[in-house]
Amino acid sequence: MYLWQAIREPDWPQFQAVMQHEIEDHQNNGHWEIVLCSAIPKHTPLLPTVGSMKRKRCITTREVYKWKAHLTIDGSKQCYGLHYDKTYSPVVTWATTRFFLIQSVLHSRYSHQLDFLLAYTHAPMEHELNMEVPKGVIVTGGNRDRNKYALCLIKNLYGQKQAGRIWYQYLAKGLKELGFLQSCIDKCVFYRGTCVLLVYVDDTIILGPVKTDLDDD
């Protein structure tokens, strides 16, 4: 459910607590900077925030055991040429994935799946983006008037049209700096020595002949 829906729910205090924790994580990791709205150029519109809330329930009893919150930017309000230029981001093809997995089975190679946590937020911004302070939560400073402030993004944030593209470029650059080579046939295949990485957004499959090699890489 969305934030405005969660505010009306009887368990809003639990949602508010996890959303506040989400906000604090972004702040502690330097994902944005709080600025005065008056300091933002008039031709630069503020993009809305989207708060996504979810209850996790026990399968058998259906009791809620965890409340989750995810803060994103409303990419549907982005303007081409102002907020973004290109959005395309490659992903490893299924043909390539099947080929390497089959080879892994036939030649008794090891494989392991990796997942980058909050992957997009590791990459820096490509264009300047400012978004509204989310409703229903206290961002910082006690009783600040939320309407007078905005969030200037420093790191890439989920919800942007170009978020996947920025993350892919950031990851590819990092892998190359670690000595990985990029395939000319499939741009989402990286290899170093006997190890191969298949990249699908923020999910990665790493394959190699020896398990210790995968752990080292």
The per-residue pLDDT for range 175-186, each reduced to its tens digit, is 999 999 999 999
Highest mean pLDDT among 44-53, 112-121, 141-150, 166-175 belongs to: 166-175
In this predicted structure, what is the pLDDT of residue 212?
56
- Domain spans of the chain? 3-216
Three-class DSSP labels, the chain: CEHHHHCCCCCHHHHHHHHHHHHHHHHHCCCEEEEEHHHCCCCCCCECEEEEEEEEECCCCCCEEEEEEEEEECHHHCCECCCECCCCCCCCCHHHHHHHHHHHHHCCCEEEEEECCCHHHHCECCCCCEEECCCCCCCCCCCCCHHHEEEEECECCCCCCCHHHHHHHHHHHHHHHCCCEECCCCCCEEEECCEEEEEECCEEEEEECCHHHHHHC
- For residue range 114-133, list pLDDT tens digits in order: 888 888 999 999 888 999 88
39 pLDDT higher than 80: yes
- Provide mean pLDDT across the span 164-172: 95
Highest mean pLDDT among 93-97, 113-117, 139-143 belongs to 93-97
Least confident of 105-109, 144-148, 175-179, 181-185: 144-148
Q: What is the pLDDT of residues 189-201, one digit of tens each?
A: 999 988 999 999 9
